[in-house]
Amino acid sequence: DETTEKAEKAALAAMDGEVTAKLSGEKLTLTTEGGDTIALSEEKPAGLVGTRWAVNTLLSGETATSVPADLPKERVPHLTFGEDGTVHGNSGCNSFHGKAAVEGSTIDFGPPAGTRKMCPEAEMEVERAVLAALDG
């Protein structure tokens, strides 16, 4: 969103040049030559359930491919796990939902059901890769 974008630009501008870092407890403070500071703290890990997980990299064997950065925002693939053993999200073009059984560090996905829209080839390529990954 616009607020996040402004904050990112300000942070990048502030970090242009020499920066001094100071660690105090769990807080990291970065200070520029001009005296601008950014205070950072560790972000607590998100829980699996209820968090919108964005897909940013697709793996196929030994090959890693980044999801194209120019995808429309509504087409960025993502997953959200429900407390009831379900998953829903977007696979790059279409919305989907299905079952997701979580056991320890393993997630077994049931067959996804989704919309059947056609999108530009770049989005369809991402969709095929995401659905193939969910199919295991």
Residue 106, class by beta-carbon neighbours within 10 Å (0-12 exposed, 13-18 middle, 19+ buried)?
A: exposed
Residue 115, both tokens: 């919309």
Residue-level pLDDT at 136: 62
Hey, where are the domains in the chain? 2-41, 52-135
Q: Are 41 and 27 in contact (CB under 8 A)?
A: yes
Measured distance CA(13)–CA(8) in Å, rounded: 9
User: What pTM does this model have?
Assistant: 0.65
pLDDT of residue 68: 87
Per-residue pLDDT of the chain (136 residues; tens, 9 = 90+): 788 888 787 777 766 778 888 999 889 988 888 887 888 888 888 889 999 999 999 887 888 888 988 888 888 999 999 999 999 999 999 999 999 999 988 999 999 999 999 999 989 999 999 998 888 6
Of 47, 111, 50, 106, nearest to 80 (Cα)? Answer: 50
pLDDT at 64: 86
Q: What's residue 124's pLDDT?
A: 92
Topology adopted by domain 52-135: Lipocalin (2.40.128)
Cα separations in angstroms, 92 against 62, 114, 125: 22, 12, 8
At which residue do the structure tokens 């077994």 appear?
108
pLDDT value of position 107: 93
User: 23 has which bridge partners?
Assistant: 28
Tokens of 112: 């996804």
CA–CA separation, 46 vs 111, rounded Å?
A: 26
- Assign 11 to helix, strand or coil: helix
